[in-house]
Structure 1
Amino acid sequence: MTKENPYPDYVIPSWHGEPPQGMHLDVIKDDNLIQKIMVDEKHFYYFGRNPEQVDIVVEHTSCSRVHSVLIYHQALKRFALVDLKSSHGTYCGKVKLEPFTPMFINVNDSFHFGASTRHFVIREKPKETIIKMPEEGDENAVNAAEEQLACLTEYNTTLNRKKQIINISDEDCKKKKKKRGKVNFYEEEIILNIDEFDEKIGKFRNMAVSFVVSNKNKGNSINESNNKYENKITGIKRKIGTGDFLNHSDKKNRLGFKSETLGNMLLNTAPNLDDQDYGPTLEDLEPFEKKKKYAKEAWPGKKPENESGLFLTNNHTECDIILMEENGHNEKNNVGNNIDDRNIISITREALSLPDAILQPNIEEIVDAYISHGGTEDEVFDMLSGSFEGTLQMANELACLLTDITYERLDTSDSRLKKKSQKKKTKNEDNVSSISPEVGEIVIDAVKKVLIKNFNPDVADKIIESNQGDVAVNIVNSLTNNESWRPVVYKLIQEHPNSSLLSVCLKFISQLGYHNEICNIPMATNQLDIFSRIVSSSLTKLIQSHENGPGTEEYDKAFEEFVKIAAFGEHSYIFTTSLLLNLINSNDGRKKSTLRHIFEELNIYCYNNDYDYTVSTISIINNTINPISNDIITAYQTMIRKKNVNPTDILTLYNAYSSSNPPPIHFLRDIVFMDLLINVIFTKDISLNIKNHRHTYVYLLAYSSCVVEKINETKRIHYKQELEPLIEEINKFLKIIDNSEDFGIVFNTLEELIKQPLIATGCLQYIKSSITSHKYAVEPNTSHYVLIDEIGSIHINLRDRVFQTLNLIFSHVSSLPNESAEVIIQKQKYIIHRYIHLLSTGYCIPVIRHLEKMYKTNQMDVSLMRLFAIEVIELISGPYSQEFSQTFLPILLNTDIFHDDIFDKMNLNCLIEEMESV
């Protein structure tokens, strides 16, 4: 026995409830089932190493005395696993659980504790089905049937072990006389010990399921009575089916033909729910000769159970009545054993009077309850016939009519299509659907609009508040697992943000991984648990895609998803940037540079979309140690917001950073602010305008590039050993570009200067501005291209800037006025060689994607594309990555680029086969 509260630090939540009968755990080790543990008697089960405190003992040294607890949620109908601050953790799959945080797990999900190799898998009660052994030739089917039979036997054996044994004293045994062994035969039809008798399985069945069969006389009277009203109901359905209630003279009309099944093909106006398969019952089996049967002796302590009873539930509607046989469900506790017949008559009468009540799936059970508690068959007939409206049949008939009209229009428009469809209809007339998918989608869209228009959050929330678990789970699963219905949830959430049901749907969608769909929903960004899961998943995906380079399609897609989440609002930006800064400070090496690059790209995105991120950034970096003055903050924010630097604000920052107690270097290292400084200093026409006070700009740019900042307990320290040498090199480069446009004369000096990354960045900006500016329009020459190639070879982190520079130059050359096509192609050819050189440095996928895109949009001649492809073929050699093969193969297979003569001459078959095999 376990203690009432073996772990006082954690209080079991109030939403706990009793699991359905048959829920159990499969204990698996090395892919072998070693044990089954029933978890259907208590609301929660403790796991751990101390047998006196826990319900389920896990004998492993890495497990704590009280390791975790498994709790069943009575509303969501799911188990939740809670780690009780164990030493070595609790794992659901490969995910480590946070202490004291419930992790909801589904059926067939596995979990384990610490370093234990035993995995626990949640299972439901096995369905009662007839297991047929296949033929001897099919080994896979035989193995599957044997495995299913073994699992069912193990389950039943586990149930049998739970049976209590009655202790019989020795004196009682002596008093009993041993009866003479004989067999007596009777004419009555009685089944002895039916609890252990089941023709469907052939082995011990679930001992918790019992059937009580009355004697012959009583049984006959009940059967006769049942047959009367069952035949009556069947007659009602048959009359409705043939259209009698609609006063149609034609008994074979289309409405009557489809009424029993609600149309030849029912419209699925909502996602399919998982129908519960109860398996065949004894009545479904083939009839057998009624004679006296003997089963195995009852287990010791086995007491006869009650007959099947009537239970009232609120799982579907207020008057929904379910007639259940005693199969182990514990819903008696919720309803009670004594139900007044008058209440049942009142509730069933209300159910039978509902519109189209006869079409309800449990109508026979409702009628059974009504008659067995005093109702009459005539009253049932009158109520069912009076409440019939045929709404569902009319909807199906209308859909069938629209389908027929659509097909007729298609037939009249094309005689060949008409003949083909008629021939196909004669061959497969029974298999053709009477409702086309297009019409079905129209009807479903109409249902969605009606749902959005008439949605009542108060009624929907009552389903959660009244603990109607089955209905809540079905609704949530239907709306969240179906791609076409999730947008309805998103629209309803925006209109009803306080709905509990929609909030649960949103959490389920988040757990299912559809983060990119809910990132723009305010309700998702306002809930910390959902938003943190969205940000974590999106950031992890972005970091993984960053390994292949920032220019790949995978990275662009991941980054677009990430910035939509992070830049949704000020609160989401603060949360995301705080997380990134924390990760940057706690990592080093490549991870740190990756996170830093993501942080900078996020700020650039906010800057380009006119989001003021400076307020949030300042609040994060400003602390009580040496707080930043308001003048510095104002100067910084003004330049970022106006997207331009000015001498006054630059002078304010210059005085602050040249003092003995400088502010944080974060302001200067803001990627947006650095780009503004680079554009002003190295753009040809702007640089000349600020020549008188350009030294302040140069000082701040050099300061941001080379100064190292360290913070101790009292103040902030900046190390400036490399500051003056870097300023001298920048001024030297500026002097060269001010006095000379021909770089060929001073090429050797420039080649040495661009080894400094900051000067290399300025050189790219100067070349780009000189060539693309309408004021100067410098003709690109060889020295420009050589410097670009050199920068791409030396600086890995500047290859993306080199790529963007080449794109701008190519676009500028392609749009030159008063130039013939031959001259433009010749100038583009020089840039194509720069692309090829950049590809050879490792910047491969973005270059190929960009050139292919320009070719498809007619921005580049086919001869240039062929030149690029041939040069790439000569450069590359196997083995090839999958991403490269997928990117470059469409170019090789393009017959416009590689004619048959070129294809055969270059023998590209081997290359294509090698890439296709990747």
Structure 2
Amino acid sequence: MDAKSAEEFLLKKDALLENPEELFQAIQSLKNDRKFSDCQDIHVKLGESYQGAIEFLFELGTWLTYIDDNLNSTRNIIESVVMETILQTYDRNKAISCLSDDHLSSTMDWLSKMIQSHTWRQTIYELAQQPRNEDCPFLSLTMPCIAVNEKLIGELIGVPLAWNTLEIFLKCASYVLLPLLSVGDSISEGLYLNSVAFLDFSQKTPEDHSSPEPDTKTILGLNELILPEFYEKGTDSHASEEIQNARHLLPYFLEMGCFSEHGYLILQSLLQCLVRKSKGHTARKLSWLLEAEATRRNRDVSRYTVYFCGAGDFPQTMQAMCEILKQHELLQPHVDHLYRSCSDNPRSRPLVELLRNPVFVTLLADALFTNRSELAGLEEKYAFLYVWASNGGEATEQMTAQVLQVASTCKHWHSMSLSGVAIRSFRDLPQLLDVVACNRSVAFGIFRFLRSTFNEKRIDFQLNLESMKPFCILANELAEHNPLLRPPLLALYTQLIAAGDEYVEDLSQLEYKRMLVRSMLHLVTTGGQFAISVIERMEHLYRRHHMDVSLVRQFVQELLDLAGSPFSNAFLEALHPLVTDPEISAGFKMTSRDLTNEFVEHYERTFPSGEETRAAQ
């Protein structure tokens, strides 16, 4: 190092904290130069460049005061301070300098040691999650170094920056998919139905990306809300651990598939190969679920959807479906073409797969059962396509007639004024209730109708509860006869309760929520296993202050009255936090004291040591 380079080095910000070897070489170079023969000149140069060395030495002195304490505790304190500083002051431009030819060898040496520590890896993951570091070369280099260790792949499934490397993405995909596929047909049909039940086309088109994308944590929470049931009840209890692991990995699978276009294409290609080679339906369910999630996030995946259906012999039909899925709208010329294709080829399996698309089925349900569009004499055509698509190519005249009858009634309900809705609705209820149990196409259409009505007339219902009663009766009947619609109904009630209206009086909102709580209680009566989901959702609302304590108290009292002794272990664990909550228990009626005391005694006998272990359901 010559004198000029040495002087530039010493004038750098915080040169005292640079590489000790380089610092020593720079000082020696200046000492050997006549111009800087005086050591005082060198000290002046170092002092001029000082910015934070004293602060660093002060921190070092503070850490040394812990030297007599536990070694691990001291190390944790030091690491926490350093990592917090790194997270706040990380400079990607300085980090890039570590990758120069002169420093690359030493960088790889200390980096390989650093990533062996779980704590430092977590710091790297947190840096990688920050938007300003989404394309940082240093962090991008770190990901393959971590991925070399196969045992650490499970950590990278939650780090999107790592997925930019194809090899790592494939490893993460394998890590996530294998447990999901291993549970086989234990995956509930309702999981896919839930994802479709809440599709919303009223806000944006696929080309509009104005809304910010939710982060991974938000997605995990949302899937917990919308997809509450992962597996069919009654599966082998020995497989519960595998099922819980698969449930944990499901949101990561959806996040990986929706992260980028190439990620979606790779995962769908893998799943489609499995669909053709395997006998089960797990891969198909996961494929539909990923497609529905991509649609919910406003991704245009229409061209991949039609391609994977294998309908290459019907190019015009594929193009028609592609345009409908792309625009999220039932474009009339394309609908006409689909109708003709189905009529001419009623047994074509590729056409069945093409029209069973979740977006298309939901668009048809909305057009038939809500008041969003005027069909103007096209009802029979839409009803035929809806029944044909939702029933896998089967469409009888009786089924189509039932859809038309119920759709007409629902649209009348939806369009009626508040003053007349209750009278007319109660008169039409019997004919609706007759077909709810026998036609799943009708059941799904009614759910979409109820979801639309409850959301659009929420304030009206709060002001006039009588007009809300027939809709609640219809929802209860829907839950009674359609187990797959119970989770979406529970999610709908949860959303309605959590959505407060500041312009409505508190008393009106309280009575409105009371009626929704009764509907949630009705879900408990439809099946004992579903009671756990209802209780967990009620506690979720209460802890987040969406539910008045009087409503929770009423829920607990009526639920204990419905359940009766003996209680299952899962029921005891789920309800115990609410029963023993001081604010809830303080207002129990005297008639309910015996039930609550019996519940608490049963709980204490079952868990005498206070150790709570989730019972196998």
Shorter chain as normaliser: what TM range?
0.5 to 0.7
With normalisation by structure 2, the TM-score equals 0.66
Residue number among 400, 406, 418 corresponding to 1:733 in the alignment:
406
Equivalent residue for 2:177, pick from 536, 544, 547? 536
For 2:335, the equivalent position in structure 1 comes to 650
- 1:704 is displaced (CA, Å) by 0.6
- Code of the residue aligned with 1:628 in structure 2: it is F
Q: Deviations over 1:450-497 (max 9, x none)?
A: 7725321646765799xx9xx886455248974334556889894338
Separation (CA, whole Å) in 2 of partners of 1:481 and 1:509: 18
1:800 match: secondary structure:
helix
Residue in 2 that maps onto 1:872: 559
1:678 deviates by 0.7
Query: 1:598: Cα distance to partner?
Result: 3.4
- Change in Cα spacing, 1:672 to 1:501, as seen in structure 2 (3 Å) is closer
Which range moves more in the overlay, 564-573 or 638-647? 638-647
Q: Would you tell me which structure has more helix in proportion to its own residues?
A: 2
Aligned to 1:64: none
- Comparing 846-855 and 487-496, the one that deviates more: 487-496
Q: Which runs of 5+ in 2 are unaligned?
A: 1-16, 28-45, 192-226, 231-243, 414-420
* SS of equivalent residue, structure 1 residue 658: helix
> For residues 904 and 539 of structure 1, do their structure 2 counterparts lie closer, same or farther at Cα, with a shift above 3 Å needed?
same
Q: 2:427 aligns with which of 745, 758, 763?
A: 745
Q: What residue number does 1:828 align with?
A: 513
Would you say the 8 A contact 1:730–1:759 is kept in 2? yes
Q: Which has the higher contact order (CA 8 A, sep 6+)?
A: 2
Q: Which amino acid aligns with 2:294?
A: C
Deviation at 1:863, TM superposition (A): 1.0
The amino acid across from 1:754 in the alignment is V
Distance 1:489 1:861 in 2: 41
Change (3 A) 1:653 1:454: same
Residues 847 and 615 (structure 1), Cα distance of their counterparts in 2 relative to 1, 3 Å cut: same
The alignment partner of 1:889 has SS state of helix
Q: How does 1:835-874 map to 2 (within 5 A)?
A: 835-840=520-525, 841=527, 842-874=529-561
Alignment of 1:578-617 (within 5 A): 578-586=269-277, 592=281, 595-617=283-305
User: Which residues in structure 2 correspond to 1:276-315 (within 5 Å)?
Assistant: none
Tell me which of 196, 206, 228 is aligned to 1:551: 228
Distance 1:395 1:822, change over 3 A: closer
**Share of identical aligned residues, percent?**
15
* Alpha-carbon shift at residue 674 of structure 1 (Å): 1.0
Provide the residue aligned with 2:477 in structure 1. 790
After superposition, the Cα gap between the structure-2 partners of 1:558 and 1:666, relative to the gap in structure 1 and judged at 3 Å, is same
1:175 is matched with none
1:627 is aligned to 2:313? yes
SS of the aligned residue for 1:700 comes to: helix
Matches within 5 A, 1:653-668: 653-660=338-345, 664-668=351-355
Distance in 1, matches of 2:518 and 2:152, equals: 49
Check if 1:574 corresponds to 2:270.
no
The answer to whether the 8 Å contact 1:632/1:656 transfers is yes
Deviation at 1:898?
Answer: 0.9
Asked if the contact 1:854/1:860 (under 8 Å) is kept, the reply is: yes
Contact 2:125 2:159 in 1 (8 A): no
**Structure 1, residues 352-386: CA drift from partner, whole Å, max 9, x if none?**
x8899xxxxxxxxxxxxxxxxxxxxxxxxxxxxxx
Q: In the alignment, which residue of structure 2 is the partner of 1:560? A: 251
Partner of 1:773: 456
Q: Name the aligned partner's letter for residue 397 of structure 2.
A: E
Q: d(CA) in 2 for partners of 1:809 and 1:473? A: 51
Distance in 2, matches of 1:776 and 1:476, equals: 55
Which amino acid counterpart does residue 567 of structure 1 have in structure 2?
Answer: C
Gap change, CA 1:798 and 1:730, over 3 Å in 2: same
The 10-residue stretch of structure 1 (758-767 or 873-882) with the greater mean CA deviation from structure 2: 873-882
User: What does residue range 449-528 of structure 1 map to in structure 2 within 5 Å?
Assistant: 449=90, 452-456=95-99, 458=101, 462=105, 474=113, 476-478=115-117, 482-487=121-126, 494-496=135-137, 503-508=144-149, 511-525=152-166, 527=168
Task: Report deviation, 1:601.
Answer: 2.9
Residue 696 of structure 1 and its aligned partner are, at CA, apart by 1.7
Aligned length: 493
**Residues 462 and 878 of structure 1: CA distance in aligned 2, closer, same or farther (over 3 Å):** farther
Q: Is the 8 A contact 1:869 1:891 kept in 2?
A: yes
Q: Which residue identity is paired with 1:456? A: L
Distance 1:892 1:585, change over 3 A: farther
Larger Rg: 1
Question: Is the Cα contact below 8 Å between 1:622 and 1:628 reproduced in 2?
Answer: no
Residue 615 of structure 1 deviates from its aligned partner by 1.6
Q: Does 2:325 align with 1:640?
A: yes
Residue type of the alignment partner of 2:342: Y
Report the AA paired with residue 434 of structure 2.
E
* Deviation for aligned residue 1:837: 1.5
1:498 Cα deviation after fit: 11
Indicate whether 1:399 and 2:59 are aligned: yes
Query: Could you tell me how far apart the structure 1 residues matched to 2:514 and 2:600 are?
Result: 27
Deviation at 1:774, TM superposition (A): 4.8
Deviation for aligned residue 1:658? 1.7
On the 8 A contact 2:156/2:162 being kept in 1, the answer is no
Quote the Cα distance in structure 1 between the aligned partners of 2:560 and 2:327: 48
Letter in 1 for 2:401: E
CA distance in 1, matches of 2:428, 2:322: 39
Once residues 786 and 692 of structure 1 are traced to their aligned partners in structure 2, the CA distance between those partners, rounded to angstroms, is: 30
Deviations 1:582-614, CA, capped at 9 Å, x for gaps: 4445556xx62x554433332222112221111
- Distance of 2:284 and 2:532 partners within structure 1: 22
Q: Distance in 2 between matches of 1:456 and 1:824?
A: 61
Q: Residue 764 of structure 1 corresponds to which residue in structure 2? A: 447
Distance 1:879 1:518 in 2: 42
Cα distance change on mapping 1:693 and 1:442 into 2, 3 Å: same
Task: Give the residue type in structure 2 aligned to 1:533.
Answer: S
Map 1:13-412 onto structure 2 (within 5 A): 397-401=57-61
The 1:803/1:736 distance shift into structure 2, 3 A limit, reads same
TM-score by length of 1: 0.46
Are the equivalent residues in 1 in contact too, given 2:328–2:363 (CA < 8 A)? Answer: yes
The one-letter amino acid of 1:565's match is M
SS at match of 1:521: helix
Please name the residue that 1:618 is paired with: 306
The residue number in structure 2 matching 1:240 is: none
Separation of aligned partners in 2, 1:780 and 1:546: 38
Q: How far did residue 682 of structure 1 move?
A: 0.1
Q: CA deviation at 1:871?
A: 2.2
CA distance in 2, matches of 1:894, 1:879: 19
Secondary structure of the structure 1 residue equivalent to 2:407? helix
Q: Following the alignment from structure 2 to structure 1, what is the Cα–Cα distance between the partners of residues 262 and 309?
A: 16
Q: Which amino acid aligns with 1:600?
A: W
1:171-194 CA deviation, whole Å, 9 max, x = no partner? xxxxxxxxxxxxxxxxxxxxxxxx
Q: Secondary structure at the match of 2:427?
A: coil
Q: CA deviation at 1:645?
A: 1.9
Alpha-carbon RMSD:
4.8
- Comparing both structures, which one devotes a greater share of its residues to strand? 1
Cα separation, 2, equivalents of 1:664 and 1:733? 27
Contiguous gaps of at least 5 residues in structure 1: 1-268, 270-316, 318-349, 357-388, 405-424, 709-719
Q: Which amino acid aligns with 1:686?
A: R
1:701 is aligned to 2:389: no
User: Relative to structure 1, is the Cα distance of residues 457 and 480 closer, same or farther in structure 2, using a 3 angstrom cutoff?
Assistant: farther
Q: Which residue of 1 aligns with 2:436?
A: 754
Deviations 1:688-711 (A, max 9, x none): x21421222111101112344xxx
The 8 Å contact of residues 515 and 534 in structure 1, kept in 2 or not, is answered as no
Q: Residues 769, 518 of structure 1: CA spacing in aligned structure 2 closer, same or farther, 3 A cutoff?
A: closer
Distance 1:641 1:510, change over 3 A: farther
Whole-Å separation in 2 of the counterparts to 1:537 and 1:515: 16
- Contact 2:383-2:400 within 8 A present in 1 as well: yes
